[in-house]
């Protein structure tokens, strides 16, 4: 089976106040040794996956475009040397506005990158500042246009709703601005206050003023209705795209397909085993330098967990869950395992069943967590 490749770049110029991703600021001194370790790990995976075609690559972070152009080139060259890459592969890079320039864009283009995902979040300068982003709205527009001028036509913008002080009117302006930029894909995420972030600390102190539940709901409804009315089909809970521009790499996760993850904190799903790399950047570098596998954790999920994961990942997408594919993958009768749960969720109008297909309803998309919890064992 064709495989995906994820490459993690754990560096950011500044930590955003809501972010709990494995990314760090003030590590410029580690860029060079990190890229060297990454290339060594890529070579190793190249051996493991020889004979396997890679059809999606995703360089995420962190902020990959914080690395200098020559480092980006080094990584991409190593990837091409180490793997057999499908001619039609989707190769994405995450970027933050203000961290790209012509030299980096050309390095990405010549390294085969054909999709850029910009973390814009909002086009309101006041909101950007309040969530600790480094860029301005104007920089976001400029970065997208520069990428388009450099020949990138497949561009995603990440947007957020439910930000402190954000109104539905603010959100509408941001979404309209994104659409005006003629991008192909928009991911829209609701803010979640994650443990250990500055926002969580502010929340505890009572200084984080989030939109009221009704306002949050209005923003969610607006996003999910407005984008499809303007050419962006909702194909997953938080993802919208023009026809043919769905992110193929993300389908590796949602369809339970294999992928290799390289870099600090990267996750892999390989031969039905889940692996995660060492999170600490310096320890990751040291471990790879010593010629050891930088794996911190590995597990073969129990069949109950694997089945639940398979179901809820498939249900996130508008394609939904194919009961026949599930049965083939696990060699188990779907209704024998989940008949009662399916009846309950049908009654609550959270899912719809048609022939051998189960999909979330509009209500189910909104309360996805309720559906997903229902399938978890015990």
User: Of these, 23, 156, 187, 239, which contacts ligand SF4 (CB under 6 A)?
Assistant: 23
CB of 120 to ligand SF4, least distance (A): 11
Closer of 48 and 126 to ligand SF4 (Cβ): 126
Q: What is d(CA 264, CA 257) in angstroms, rounded to the nearest whole number?
A: 21
Site string for ligand SF4, 64-103 (x = CB under 6 A): --------------------------------x-------
CB of 133 to ligand SF4, least distance (A): 7
Supply the angle between the helices 281-289 and 31-48 in degrees, to the nearest 10.
60
Q: What is d(CA 47, CA 117) in angstroms, rounded to the nearest whole number?
A: 29
CB of 134 to ligand SF4, least distance (A): 8
> Which window, 8-16, 37-45, 70-78, 104-112, contacts ligand SF4 (CB under 6 A)?
8-16
Q: What are phi and psi of 9, to 5 degrees?
A: -115, 110
Closer of 21 and 330 to ligand SF4 (Cβ): 21
Q: What is the DSSP string of 143-210?
A: HHHHHHHTT---EEEEEEES-TT--HHHHHHHHHHHHHTT-SEEEEEE----TTSHHHHHHHHT---P
CB of 14 to ligand SF4, least distance (A): 7
Closer of 98 and 320 to ligand SF4 (Cβ): 98
CB of 65 to ligand SF4, least distance (A): 10
Query: Is 12 near ligand SF4 (CB under 6 A)?
Result: yes
Q: Are 64 and 119 in contact (CB under 8 A)?
A: no
**Number of Cβ atoms within 10 Å of the Cβ of 309:** 18
Q: According to CB under 6 A, which residues from 39 to 68 bind ligand SF4?
A: 61-63
Q: What is d(CA 276, CA 290) in angstroms, rounded to the nearest whole number?
A: 18
CB of 38 to ligand SF4, least distance (A): 17
> Which window, 11-19, 79-87, 201-209, 275-283, contacts ligand SF4 (CB under 6 A)?
11-19
CA 102 to chain centre: 25
Closer of 4 and 119 to ligand SF4 (Cβ): 119
Closer of 134 and 210 to ligand SF4 (Cβ): 134
Q: Are 19 and 197 in contact (CB under 8 A)?
A: yes
Q: What is d(CA 128, CA 121) in angstroms, rounded to the nearest whole number?
A: 8
**Number of Cβ atoms within 10 Å of the Cβ of 297:** 11
Closer of 96 and 139 to ligand SF4 (Cβ): 96
CB of 16 to ligand SF4, least distance (A): 3
CA angle (162 as vertex; 159, 167 as ends), nearest 5: 95
Query: Is 261 near ligand SF4 (CB under 6 A)?
Result: no
CB of 192 to ligand SF4, least distance (A): 12
User: Of these, 2, 21, 148, 367, which contacts ligand SF4 (CB under 6 A)?
Assistant: 21
Query: Is 15 near ligand SF4 (CB under 6 A)?
Result: yes
- Beta strand spans in the chain (E): 3-9, 53-61, 84-95, 115-121, 155-161, 185-190, 233-236, 239-241, 259-262, 267-270, 273-277, 295-299, 321-322, 351-354, 357-360
Query: Is 19 near ligand SF4 (CB under 6 A)?
Result: yes
Query: Is 16 near ligand SF4 (CB under 6 A)?
Result: yes
Query: Is 193 near ligand SF4 (CB under 6 A)?
Result: no
Q: What is d(CA 71, CA 245) in angstroms, rounded to the nearest whole number?
A: 28
CB of 190 to ligand SF4, least distance (A): 14
- Token pair in block for residue 308: 């639940």
| Binding residues for ligand SF4, total number by CB under 6 A | 11
**Where along the sequence are the contacts to ligand SF4 (CB under 6 A)?**
12, 15-16, 19, 21, 23, 61-63, 96, 119
């Amino acid at each position: 089976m064709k495989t995906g490749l994820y490459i993690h770049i754990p560096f950011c110029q500044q930590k955003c106040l809501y972010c709990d991703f494995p990314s760090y600021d003030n590590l410029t001194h580690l860029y060079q040794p990190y890229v060297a370790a990454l290339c060594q790990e890529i070579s190793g995976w190249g051996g493991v996956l020889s004979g396997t075609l890679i059809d999606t690559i995703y360089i995420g972070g962190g902020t990959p475009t914080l690395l200098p152009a020559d480092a980006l080139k080094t990584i991409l060259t190593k990837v091409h040397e180490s793997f057999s890459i499908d001619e039609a592969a989707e190769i994405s890079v995450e970027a933050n506005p203000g961290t790209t320039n012509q030299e980096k864009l050309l390095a990405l283009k010549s390294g085969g990158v054909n999709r850029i995902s910009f973390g814009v979040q909002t086009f309101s300068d006041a909101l950007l500042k309040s969530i600790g982003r480094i860029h301005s709205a104007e920089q976001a527009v400029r970065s997208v246009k520069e990428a388009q001028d450099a020949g990138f036509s497949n561009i995603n913008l990440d947007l957020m709703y439910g930000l402190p002080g954000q109104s539905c009117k603010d959100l509408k302006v941001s979404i309209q601005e994104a659409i005006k930029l003629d991008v192909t894909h928009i991911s829209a995420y609701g803010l979640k206050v994650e443990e250990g972030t500055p926002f969580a600390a502010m929340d505890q102190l009572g200084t984080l003023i989030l939109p009221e539940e009704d306002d949050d709901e209005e923003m969610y409804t607006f996003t999910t209705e407005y984008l499809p009315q303007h050419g962006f089909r909702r194909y997953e809970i938080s993802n919208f795209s023009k026809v043919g521009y769905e992110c193929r790499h993300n389908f590796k996760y949602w369809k339970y397909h294999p992928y290799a993850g390289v870099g600090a904190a990267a996750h892999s799903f390989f031969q039905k085993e889940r692996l995660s790399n060492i999170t600490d950047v310096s320890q990751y570098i040291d471990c790879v330098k010593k010629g050891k596998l930088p794996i911190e954790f590995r597990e073969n999920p129990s069949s109950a967990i694997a089945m639940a994961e398979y179901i809820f990942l498939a249900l996130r997408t508008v394609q939904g869950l194919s009961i026949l594919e599930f049965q083939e993958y696990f060699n188990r009768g779907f209704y024998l395992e989940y008949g009662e749960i399916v009846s309950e969720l049908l009654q609550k109008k959270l899912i719809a069943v048609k022939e051998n297909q189960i999909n979330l309803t509009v209500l189910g998309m909104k309360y996805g967590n309720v559906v997903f919890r229902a399938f978890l064992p015990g």
